[in-house]
Amino acid sequence: VEEPAENVGKEHPFSDEKLSLVLTVYRVPDFKAAKAQVQKILDFVGMGHSVGIHTKTQEHADELAADLKVVRVLVNQAHTFGNGGSFTNGLEFTLTMGCGTWAGNSISENLNYKHFINITHLVREIPEDKPSEEELFGAHWNKFGK
């Protein structure tokens, strides 16, 4: 189904999640517009969840990861299979995706068995490795002032 870019929201059911053999296509003029379109859809239906991109331009994948409010950016792989974990991408196998605080979740990863076991951490003091305020805030201070 092809939809105009402005057709996103509850009054446009093809912009919602589809667990069927239906694909919605939005035509946009360039990568910047595509990224904005994806964020609009995420704001409506999938904040924090995931996006997929097929590209030869690593900068596009990096930009999506830096700018979109998603936990997972799948690059050059089948989103349907890779999102739930794969031997070829390092994600934990799951049917439940944590979507971070963007979606009101407590985890930003694929839910797995580790989330259901108790682990005791035996903690001892180590030599202090305290960064200076300049190391912590220097870049911010240089950009915005102290």
CA of residue 140 relative to chain centroid, distance: 25
Q: Which of 17-21, 69-73, 112-116, 125-129 has the lowest mean pLDDT?
A: 17-21
Under a CB-based contact definition with an 8 Å cutoff, are residues 99 and 49 in contact? yes
| pLDDT score at 43 | 93
Q: What is the pLDDT of residues 67-120, one digit of tens each?
A: 999 999 999 999 888 999 999 999 999 999 999 999 999 999 999 999 999 999
> 104: which residues sit within 8 A by CB, 6+ positions away?
none
* CA 90 distance to own-chain centroid: 15
Check residue 110 and give its pLDDT: 95
DSSP characters over 13-44: GGGS---SS---EE--SSHHHHHHHHHHHIII
- As a whole number of angstroms, the distance between CA 120 and CA 80 comes to 35
Per residue in 22-80, pLDDT (tens digit) is 889 999 999 999 999 999 999 999 899 999 999 999 999 999 999 999 999 999 999 88
pLDDT at 32: 96
The predicted pLDDT at position 132 comes to 95
29 conformational bin, left if phi > 0, alpha if psi -120 to 50, beta if neither:
alpha
Residue 18: predicted pLDDT: 83
Instruction: State the average pLDDT over residues 119-131.
Output: 95
Element (H, E) at 75: strand 70-75
